[in-house]
Amino acid sequence: MSEKQHVFSEIDIERERKEILNAFKGLLRATKDRSREDTRMIRKAFDVAVDAHKDMRRKSGEPYIYHPIAVARICAEEMGLGATAITCALLHDTVEDTHITLQDVEDLFGAKVRLIIDGLTKIPEVFDENASIQAENFRKMILTISDDIRVVLIKLADRLHNMRTLGSMRADKQLKIASETKFLYAPLAHRLGLYSIKSELEDLAMMYSEPEVYAKIDSALKSTKDVRNRFIRQFSQPIKEALLHEGYIFDIKARTKSISSIWRKMNTKGVPFEEVYDVFAVRIIVETPAELEKPDCWRIYSIVTDFYQPSPDRLRDWISTPRANGYESLHTTVMSPQGKWVEVQIRSKRMDEIAEKGLAAHYKYKESNSEESKFDRWITEIRDLLENPDSNAMDFVNEFKANLFVDEIYVFTPKGELRVLPNGSTILDFAYDIHTDIGDKCIGAKVNNRLVPLSYQLLNGDQLEIITSSKQKPHEDWLRFVFSARAKQKIKSSLNEGRKAIALDGKEILERKFKQHNIRFTSENITFLESYFGMPSGTELYFRIAKGKIDLSKLRDIENVHGILQLEKKGKTIPKDRHEKVVNSKINKKEDTIIIGEDFKNIQYQIAKCCNPIPGDEVFGFITISEGVKIHRNNCPNAEHLMSKMEYRCIKARWKSQELVERVAAILIKGIDSLGLVNKLTEIISTQHNVNMKSISFETDDGIFEGRIKVLVYDTEHLEQLMSKFEQVEGVQRVTRWDMDVNETH
């Protein structure tokens, strides 16, 4: 390198360094309400990212660090996220692309930042050549909603910046990235309430997927801009004067419709650009306290309609009933003196911030609203969708997407409670929205006091009373009657549980048949039968056997013809479970009852650790595979699973009334922390007659304490006396039995 080139290179690097620093200063200016500690954390993240990415460049040739700074700025400026999210945005590519590890991140920034970075690192690009892998990757991303919603928000910011800088990519890459953005990222931004980001993502996707149409509409918008601005000034003037006269503090803005939504309107209505009447909307944003928001918005509506005639069928009241993603606004369409329809949106400053910044603003204002928000309900639905790990990934993506861009209807319970459902919902959707058990047992409903079938499609304003029957079970046909992803998932889950229960019976039938024919019950033999009968899995094989669809009388013929089924060795028969066979042969499950404290047919029994029953508790016995019989409380966390799935292993049990043996019971105490609270609780234990403490542990978090105490007591009466005394201590809010090991295996 010549001396001249060397000097130029140094100047170039110095210039880049200054530009990077300026970009970072711009990020800091965009970060609102930050403390000194926040500034230090963001600065440290910037320093770590700059060093980690120092040798990396983007496709455009610019230093890579510009990308994380830009993503962080979107998080700060356009989403209103705080210091933690900004820190994570700066670091979002370090673990995946550089020498930095997750442990480094935790050591430098703590566990919360690590969790978010881990979530971002786990999400690969959503789309690749294989459709099922694309779907699985998207499913992974949505899983992170349950961990920390900021993972998905930062991923959206990352996608937005990639779309803004897509020009440096190859044409085929541009088309691929634009397609996936339109397919999933834009609807996701919409559902998270990020309207401006959603519109920009759609417009940028259209710029690459339909460049000619995009350019044509863009040109038409630019050429009509001056005329439009003049019209808006004239239209707004009388409203502005009236609002000033009334003493309102307000702002009037004109919002031009996005190019992609104009194109959508042209397509759906079959009209040219000139005939799209709502190319723009006038937005009135009023500064008003929370308790006056609703009356003030309606008062402004009244002022607007004093000047301009409203269209009665174009009024949308999303203040009384906000949309599922938290959007609140009053929309009306009025006729201007020039004979043009104009959409007017009226909202408070708080509503506008939620509309623009979506989720982040929603949480900022959440504390002032004790009601569970519509958005929180949507997050709950997503968790419900993710509950079933067996569900097909492509089905998941399709159902999730169907729930993103859907209109809503408003219906009422018999007591007048409002429920928001996707447009197209039926009786079953409503039933499952109330509770899974109500959905599973639903046989019909009364809508507005009229009896209707399960397939009835709900209308806005319907009032429903669900009719249930304890004998009802979900049917395969129900999947045709439901619209919401939540209901579909619940029905599939119930059907799968039903099939699994029937399959267990089928498995027992096959075991008995194998024993009759002296055939070993091995995985090789099961696999052979699956193949022989053309079954996709063992569960399906067992299910068909239970339903009598597979003829097992020919097992010996199959063995004789194919010589493949492995027989038991003569004289050395090895049962699948020697212990279980011995126990089962001694027990008559219908007649026998274990009396706890007395010998039971020389069969070992013990107290289950998951629920620690004590005398006085209603109990049952469960025959385990290798540890004899375990005694569980009837309300043990595992009881429902054991009784419903493996009822054939359950046996009656009761306590020997005269027996006095100390047993461990665990108590969970929650409340408000105060000085000397632990001393008061331990004092109660020490003064309570015949109670010994085994262990005690307390944790406090922001003034809320949680204590776990293990004590030795004789029976439930003994335990309840102690718990009653704990409840009387000032500051204690809740005292319950604590199940020490819910996940005990059997």
Closest C-alpha to 497, from 436, 429, 584, 443: 436
| Residue 664 in this model has a pLDDT that exceeds 70 | yes
The dihedral built from the CA positions of residue 324, 330, 334 and 336, taken in this order, carries a sign that is: negative
| Residue 50 counted as domain residue | yes
Closest C-alpha to 404, from 572, 189, 187, 200: 187
Q: What average pLDDT score do residues 581-610 get?
A: 71
Q: Which of 10, 14, 97, 275 is catalytic?
A: 97
Of residues 163 and 16, the one with the higher pLDDT is 163
Instruction: Please write the tens of the pLDDT for every residue from 81-106.
Output: 888 889 999 888 888 888 888 888 88
Q: Are 316 and 237 in the same domain?
A: yes
| Residue 341 in this model has a pLDDT that exceeds 80 | yes
Distance CA(431)–CA(686), nearest Å, equals: 51
Of residues 477 and 426, the one with the higher pLDDT is 426
Which of left, alpha, beta for 701 (phi over 0: left; psi -120 to 50: alpha)? beta
Q: What average pLDDT score do residues 199-208 get?
A: 90
pLDDT of res. 347: 93
Please name the residue that has the structure tokens 């700060």.
Answer: 76
In which element (H, E) is residue 443 found?
Answer: strand 442-447
How long a stretch of residues is the chain? Answer: 746
Query: Torsion over CA of 427, 432, 436 and 441, rounded to 10 degrees?
Result: 0
| Residue 184 DSSP symbol | I
pLDDT of res. 659: 55
Instruction: Mark whether 96 is an active-site residue.
Output: yes
Distance CA(535)–CA(549), nearest Å, equals: 12
Distance CA(420)–CA(320), nearest Å, equals: 12
How does residue 670 score in pLDDT terms, banded at 50, 70 and 90? confident
Q: What is the mean pLDDT of the chain?
A: 76
- Strand 442-447 with 464-468, pairing: antiparallel
Q: Are 274 and 313 in the same domain?
A: yes
Instruction: Please write the tens of the pLDDT for every residue from 480-505.
Output: 888 877 788 788 878 777 777 778 88
| Residue 7 in this model has a pLDDT that exceeds 50 | no
Q: What average pLDDT score do residues 652-673 get?
A: 76
Which of left, alpha, beta for 518 (phi over 0: left; psi -120 to 50: alpha)? left
The dihedral built from the CA positions of residue 128, 132, 134 and 137, taken in this order, carries a sign that is: negative
pLDDT of res. 285: 92
| Residue 73 in this model has a pLDDT that exceeds 80 | yes
Question: Which of 3-17, 215-229, 399-413, 444-458 holds the top average pLDDT?
Answer: 215-229
| Residue 134 in this model has a pLDDT that exceeds 60 | no
Question: How many domains is the chain partitioned into structurally?
Answer: 5
pLDDT of res. 372: 46
Q: Are 69 and 171 in the same domain?
A: yes
How does residue 528 score in pLDDT terms, banded at 50, 70 and 90? confident
| Residue 575 in this model has a pLDDT that exceeds 50 | no
pLDDT of res. 382: 58
Distance CA(505)–CA(641), nearest Å, equals: 16
Q: Are 295 and 189 in the same domain?
A: no
| Widest Cα–Cα separation across the chain | 104
How does residue 572 score in pLDDT terms, banded at 50, 70 and 90? very low
**Domain limits for position 725:** 663-737
Query: Which domain-ending residue is among 636, 654, 672?
Result: 654
Q: Are 678 and 639 in the same domain?
A: no
SS3 654: strand
Distance CA(474)–CA(438), nearest Å, equals: 11
Instruction: Mark whether 97 is an active-site residue.
Output: yes
| Residue 107 counted as domain residue | yes
- Contact at 8 Å (CB) between 453 and 427? yes
How does residue 187 score in pLDDT terms, banded at 50, 70 and 90? confident
Neighbours of 431 (CB within 10 A): 27
Identity of the amino acid at 350: R
- Strand 442-447 with 450-452, pairing: antiparallel
| Residue 10 in this model has a pLDDT that exceeds 80 | no
**Bridge partner residues of 693 (DSSP):** 711
How does residue 714 score in pLDDT terms, banded at 50, 70 and 90? confident
- Ranges 146-160, 342-356, 421-435, 519-533: which has the least confidence: 519-533
How does residue 140 score in pLDDT terms, banded at 50, 70 and 90? low
Residue 234 structure tokens: 């004239």
pLDDT of res. 376: 56
Q: Are 501 and 640 in the same domain?
A: no
DSSP string, 558-587: HHHHH--SPBPPTT----S-HHHHHHHHH-
Q: Are 280 and 330 in the same domain?
A: yes
Where are the alpha helices (H) located in 564-676, listed in sequence order?
Answer: 578-586, 639-645
Closest C-alpha to 696, from 684, 682, 686: 682
| Residue 726 counted as domain residue | yes
Residue 701 structure tokens: 């978090």
- Strand 280-287 with 341-348, pairing: parallel
Instruction: Please write the tens of the pLDDT for every residue from 718-733.
Output: 788 888 888 888 778 8
Residue 315 structure tokens: 């009024």
- Contact at 8 Å (CB) between 682 and 713? no
- Ranges 55-64, 624-633, 642-651: which has the least confidence: 642-651
- Contact at 8 Å (CB) between 621 and 652? yes
Distance CA(492)–CA(396), nearest Å, equals: 12
| Residue 413 counted as domain residue | no
Instruction: Please write the tens of the pLDDT for every residue from 302-313.
Output: 999 999 988 888
| Residue 663 in this model has a pLDDT that exceeds 50 | yes
pLDDT of res. 441: 86
How does residue 472 score in pLDDT terms, banded at 50, 70 and 90? confident
Identity of the amino acid at 534: G
pLDDT of res. 5: 41
- Ranges 109-113, 369-373, 438-442, 578-582: which has the least confidence: 369-373
Report pTM: 0.54
Q: Are 248 and 326 in the same domain?
A: yes
Query: Which domain-ending residue is among 306, 341, 366?
Result: 366
How does residue 577 score in pLDDT terms, banded at 50, 70 and 90? very low
How does residue 8 score in pLDDT terms, banded at 50, 70 and 90? very low
| Residue 297 counted as domain residue | yes
Q: Are 280 and 240 in the same domain?
A: yes
| Residue 644 in this model has a pLDDT that exceeds 80 | no
CATH number at residue 672: 3.30.70.260
- Contact at 8 Å (CB) between 495 and 543? no
Neighbours of 370 (CB within 10 A): 6
410: exposed, middle or buried (Cβ count in 10 Å: 0-12, 13-18, 19+): middle
The dihedral built from the CA positions of residue 632, 636, 641 and 644, taken in this order, carries a sign that is: positive
pLDDT of res. 55: 81
Instruction: Please write the tens of the pLDDT for every residue from 242-299.
Output: 999 988 988 998 888 888 888 888 887 777 887 777 788 899 999 999 889 999 999 9
| Residue 431 counted as domain residue | no
- Contact at 8 Å (CB) between 387 and 143? no
Instruction: Please write the tens of the pLDDT for every residue from 591-605.
Output: 677 887 777 766 778
> Side-chain half-sphere of 347: how many Cα atoms within 13 Å?
23
pLDDT of res. 571: 36
Q: Are 547 and 604 in the same domain?
A: no
How does residue 400 score in pLDDT terms, banded at 50, 70 and 90? low
Task: Tell me what percent of the residues of the chain surpass a pLDDT of 90.
Answer: 6
| Residue 459 counted as domain residue | no
Q: Are 643 and 689 in the same domain?
A: no
Q: Which of 19, 96, 647, 683 is catalytic?
A: 96
Distance CA(258)–CA(154), nearest Å, equals: 23
- Contact at 8 Å (CB) between 489 and 387? yes
| Residue 402 in this model has a pLDDT that exceeds 80 | no
Q: Are 532 and 625 in the same domain?
A: no
| Residue 115 in this model has a pLDDT that exceeds 50 | yes
Rg (CA), the chain: 33
**Bridge partner residues of 629 (DSSP):** 605, 623
How does residue 397 score in pLDDT terms, banded at 50, 70 and 90? low
| Residue 731 DSSP symbol | T
Residue 693 structure tokens: 């403490």
CATH number at residue 16: 1.10.3210.10
Query: Which domain-ending residue is among 503, 534, 562?
Result: 562
Distance CA(488)–CA(381), nearest Å, equals: 11
In which element (H, E) is residue 683 found?
Answer: helix 677-687
| Residue 695 counted as domain residue | yes
